[in-house]
């Protein structure tokens, strides 16, 4: 879980990227 949180923190520069990342993870 912590790895996903790290990826979430470092992999998203904007809300749009965050939403895309969440959508990707849900797929």
**For residue 15, what pLDDT is reported?**
74
Residue 7 has pLDDT above 70, yes or no: no
Q: How many CB atoms lie within 10 A of CB 10?
A: 8
Task: For residue 26, give Cα distances in angstroms to 19, 21, 22.
Answer: 11, 9, 6
The answer to pTM > 0.85 is: no
pLDDT tens-digit readout, 12-27: 567 777 788 788 888 8
Q: In degrees rounded to 5, what are phi and psi of residue 25?
A: -65, -35
14: which DSSP letter? Answer: S
């Amino acid at each position: 879980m912590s790895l996903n949180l790290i990826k979430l923190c470092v992999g998203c520069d904007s809300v749009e990227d965050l939403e895309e990342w969440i959508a990707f993870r849900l797929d």
